[in-house]
Structure 1
Amino acid sequence: MKRARLPLLAVLPVTVISFVIAVPFVAGDHPLRWEAGSLLPDLVLNGEDTGRSDAPADGTTAPGTSTPGASDIAKVDQEWKEGMPQWGVQLYWEDNPKHSTEYVEKQARLHADYLVGLHANSVSVSFPFFTGDLDSTKISQGGRTPTPERLTRVLQIFHEAGLRTTVRPLMDETSLDVDNGGWRGKIDPADRDAWFSSYKKFLTPYLKAAEGEQAATFVIGTELNSMEGDTRWDTLVASAEKTFSGEVAYDANWDNYVSGRINMPVSHLGVDAYFPVKVADTAPVDTLVDGWNDWLDKKATGPLPNITIAEAGIGAMKGAYKAPGDFYTKRAVNPQVQANWYTAVCQVVQERQMSGVYWWSVYFDDDPNSKPDDKVASRLDFAGRPLTEKAIKSCFTSDYAGPGTDTAS
């Protein structure tokens, strides 16, 4: 993997940043769910009904093997190549072991067709893994973590559609007492050596599956604020790079990204970007763009070609701009709020020459072609909302050629 250490760039004084960030946190603005190069500062990069599958036990598939129904899968407009923007969606998969392999394949084909219809060229498969409480040292699959074999099948189907794939394990927060402020960014294992050992044991089969299916990126960690900078990551990432030849990445939460150093020995950084913008629901897109740039400028001004927006999204409801990552609240539906936010984020990605964006999210068991049931569904769901889907298609078919180009619109 590419290896480079980027220099530290001064940021706003800690007291100012702390005040700016603390206020949104009181309102719960970090994402809640179940869940130019030198201008990139403070980032230390290291380089640049059985429910069982009959796939090989090591998570790979035989060369030339084709998934049943592959000929019926739609194909992307243009397959992603190095330097192109990643236009993608986060597909969140809580597996049910009772679901047959045929069901899993059917859902994967359904989502592949939907993503192609959006003109996406990329997909990130996020799935939960589990721990105990905040000081637990043990990582486990739990009952909702897809097996490496089933992940392999899904990756294969997405590749047949021509989609760039990312594998993204995501720590589930069910046991962390979210109601009292517990979330993945606050874990503090009692024995960090034991935690990293357990995490490595969990990750290795998924790294092998990702390698076997030639995934482009493996996200080694997501929103683990309290664990960033631990020197044990060096050993874990080095081990991952021996197993997986693609890009090993880390996805930082937005608060840590703007407030200080993201010291992780990986080759790429993503940001789960839920920047609150305290404006009225009637605010125009340009005002939302300005709000995003105000946040990003706290870190660095100008192009950010080494940054991917790993998650962006917002509830299709009134008052969402002030807390775009609020998973649980269900205020009155307002589709225009969501659509305008997506339009603004896409504009920022292009103007700041970022490497792409992944929208949060589509759930694996859902039918993305159906209108969401707003009595039970998260307001963050965008599939089946015509205004937002139109904004996504406009984004994904723009003339933006990728980081370092002059075609940002």
Structure 2
Amino acid sequence: MKRARLPMLAVLPVTVIAFVVAVPFVFGNHPLQWSSGSLVPHLVLDGREQPRTTGSGGSHGKTSAAPSSTPEVARVDKAWKPGMPQWGAQLYWEDNPRHSLAYVEKQARLHANYLVGLHANSVSVSFPFFTRNRASTKISRGDKTPAPDRLARVLEIFHEAGLRTTIRPLMDEHSLKAEDGWRGNIKPADRDAWFASYEKFVTPYLKAAESEKATTFVIGTELNSLEGDPHWETVVDDAEKLFSGEVAYDANWDNYVQGPVVMPVSHLGIDAYFPIKVGDDASVDTLAAGWNRWLDRKAAGPLPKITVAEAGIGAMKGAYHAPGDFYTKRTVDPQVQANWYTAVCRVVQERKMSGVYWWSIYFDDDPNTKPDDKVASRLDFAGRPLTEKAIRACFTSDYAGPGTQTTS
């Protein structure tokens, strides 16, 4: 049976406001690549692209787990059920085909145990797929794209831990950089061909998600230029024939606040890197108010049908102006990151949202080790005690979840 889909979110476009910040800024999810909110569709605010595209499948400024240990899988205290908040993290996986299945299983157990230790009940597995340039009509797997059977095994291990699972293919942007491009402004020369290629790519992953009973499959992420295209009707219809769970779409925060996100899916997530022009000593109350001002541009009051699919910020001075800035490495300030996490969690609860996933943990890393700030992204939160404390407080709060309310 076809599930009820998200109604079109009609809203008048908001006025775009320029921000003056100390780092390059762009209106898109990437700091010149995507994230925090400037007006050039591609600065460096996202923070995620460089580690994804230049990594070799090894550690991103952290210690990799020793391949010899095989930890037992811990279990969540209270497994997620519909109506409960999704408390989770984005696990970004650039696979290395030379890694054995035993290594993959060991890493999955390591991350499952770490998440259970944070009192998470959910995990989203993001992984890259590839295209050649902005006009390309071909979507492909690369060496870093996990094979569907390896993904299925990771999902199985997460389910052993009692975690709710989401699968999220994410277009890699390395090949787009020469054109100052990001995934949100691709312009396929032939949309019929692009969508046919994309559907061919996602089909085996939908089957893997179904075989392991994943809860959500994100059919697209931050594809601003393709939102509203009628081809999505066929893609989603076919996905729903293969996958009995929830088919979702994750919108970039700028598109979300500017106008309707028209996608024929049953759930909408936001990759949310709202810039707030405040000092490093800003209170949690001030940060939460800044987030609410952004959200109010779209709709006031509860947002029970919205999930914060990505939230994060650098543990460094000046980060509130550009929360997704990966490339800049200013002076480390763990309190900046911890306060942001606390504020975001408060907003999620006050607005009755479906939950939050923190960006991010890298699959090959050992999340139990402290980041090496000489090389690691400031956005890394695993191994930062103040932020982990904030996450645990969030995930053990008395927030019961959005329940069965309807979206505003």
Aligned-residue sequence identity (percent) comes to 73
Aligned to 2:66: none
**For 1:350-369, what aligned pairs fall within 5 Å after superposition?**
350-369=349-368
Give the Cα separation in 2 of the matches to 1:95 and 1:86: 26
1:200 aligns with 2:211: no
Equivalences for residues 368-379 of structure 1 within 5 A: 368-379=367-378
Whole-angstrom CA distance in 2 between matches of 1:112 and 1:372: 19
Inter-partner Cα distance in structure 2 for 1:290 and 1:170: 30
Aligned equivalent of 1:6: 7
- Cα pair 2:75 2:160 within 8 Å, conserved: yes
Does the Cα contact within 8 Å between 1:134 and 1:182 map onto a contact in 2?
Answer: yes
Q: Distance in 1 between matches of 2:227 and 2:404?
A: 32
For 1:4 and 1:167, locate their aligned partners in 2 and report how far apart those are by CA, in whole Å. 19
SS in 1 for 2:206: helix
8 A contact 2:304–2:354 mirrored in 1:
yes
**Per-residue deviation at 1:19?**
5.1
Distance in 2, Cα, partners of 1:400 & 1:29: 34
AA partner of residue 394 (structure 1) = A
**Is 1:161 aligned to 2:161, yes or no?**
yes
In structure 2, the residue corresponding to 1:188 is in which secondary structure?
coil
Quote the residue 1:283 is aligned against.
282
Per the alignment, residue 92 of structure 2 pairs with 92
Q: C-alpha separation between the residues in 2 aligned to 1:79 and 1:279?
A: 38
Instruction: State the partner residue of 1:31.
Output: 46
Whether 1:248 aligns to 2:247 is yes
Query: How far is the alpha carbon of 1:317 from its aligned partner?
Result: 0.5
Q: Describe the shift of the 1:245–1:81 C-alpha distance in structure 2 as closer, same or farther (beyond 3 A).
A: same
Partner of 1:47: none
1:143 positional shift: 1.0
Tell me by how many angstroms 1:376 deviates.
1.0
Q: Answer whether contact 2:124 2:166 (CA < 8 A) is retained.
A: yes
* Alignment check: 8 A CA contact 1:86 1:355 kept: yes
Structure 1: distance between partners of 2:70 and 2:299? 44
Match in the other structure for 1:135: 135
1:200 partner letter = E
* SS of 2:16 mapped into structure 1: helix
Q: Could you tell me which residue of structure 2 aligns to residue 117 of structure 1?
A: 117
2:211 corresponds to 1:212: yes
Matches within 5 A, 1:294-373: 294-373=293-372
Instruction: Tell me which residue corresponds to 1:38.
Output: none
Counterpart secondary structure, 1:89: strand
Structure 2: which amino acid aligns with 1:240? A
What root-mean-square deviation, in Å, do the aligned CA atoms of Structure 1 and Structure 2 show?
2.0
Q: Is the Cα contact below 8 Å between 2:45 and 2:324 reproduced in 1?
A: yes
- 1:142 maps to amino acid: G
Whole-Å Cα distance in 1 between the matches of residues 108 and 353 of structure 2? 28
Cα deviation, 1:344-377, whole Å, max 9, x if unaligned, reads 0000000000000000000000000000111111
Greater Cα offset, 25-34 or 197-206: 25-34
User: What secondary structure does 1:402 align onto?
Assistant: coil
What letter corresponds to residue 297 of structure 1 in structure 2?
Answer: D
Q: Secondary structure at the match of 1:262?
A: coil
Could you tell me which amino acid in structure 2 is paired with residue 206 of structure 1? Answer: Y
Contact 2:342 2:394 in 1 (8 A): yes
Could you list the per-position Cα deviations for residues 134-163 of structure 1 after superposition, in whole angstroms to 9, with x for gaps in the alignment? 010000111100000100110000000000
CA distance in 2, matches of 1:117, 1:171: 30
Distance 1:118 1:5, change over 3 A: closer
The CA deviation at 1:83 is 0.3
Deviation at 1:6, TM superposition (A): 3.0
Could you tell me which residue of structure 2 aligns to residue 101 of structure 1? 101
Quick one: structure 1 residues 105 and 266, their matched pair in 2 at CA, closer, same or farther if it must change by over 3 Å?
A: same
**2:313–2:378 CA contact under 8 A, matched in 1:** yes
Report the Cα distance in structure 1 between the residues aligned to 2:391 and 2:6, rounded to whole angstroms. 34
**Secondary structure, aligned partner of 1:391:** helix
TM-score by length of 1: 0.87
Give, as a single letter, the amino acid of the residue that structure 2 aligns with 1:155: L
Alignment partner, residue 76 of structure 1 = 76
Q: Which runs of 5 or more structure 1 residues have no equivalent in the other structure?
A: 36-50, 52-68
TM-score relative to the length of structure 2: 0.87
Partners of 2:404 and 2:226 lie apart in 1 by: 35
Look up the SS of the partner of 2:387 in the other structure: helix
Report the Cα distance in structure 1 between the residues aligned to 2:283 and 2:236, rounded to whole angstroms.
Answer: 43
Letter in 2 for 1:336: Q
Corresponding residue SS for 1:309: strand
Q: Matches of 2:6 and 2:338 in 1, distance apart?
A: 38
Q: Is the partner of 2:290 in helix, strand or coil? A: helix
User: In structure 1, the residue corresponding to 2:116 is in which secondary structure?
Assistant: helix
CA contact (8 A) 2:8 2:262 kept: no
> 1-side partners of 2:70 and 2:400: how far apart?
29
Q: Which consecutive residues of structure 2, in runs of 5 or more, have no partner in the other structure?
A: 20-25, 28-36, 58-68
Per-residue Cα deviation, 1:37-93 (whole angstroms, up to 9, x for no partner): xxxxxxxxxxxxxx9xxxxxxxxxxxxxxxxx9992100010000100000000000
Equivalent-residue separation in structure 1 for 2:376 and 2:6 (angstroms):
43
Contact preservation (8 Å) 1:18, 1:259: no
Q: 2:273 — aligned with what?
A: 274
Aligned equivalents of 2:217, 2:97: Cα separation in 1? 23
Pairs aligned (count): 371
Report the Cα distance in structure 2 between the residues aligned to 1:181 and 1:18, rounded to whole angstroms.
Answer: 22
Please name the residue that 1:232 is paired with.
231
The whole-number CA distance in structure 2 between the counterparts of 1:24 and 1:152 is: 38
Alpha-carbon shift at residue 328 of structure 1 (Å): 1.2
C-alpha distance in structure 2 between counterparts of 1:327 and 1:71, whole Å: 31
Alpha-carbon separation, structure 1, partners of 2:248 and 2:216: 7
Equivalent-residue separation in structure 2 for 1:357 and 1:29 (angstroms):
22
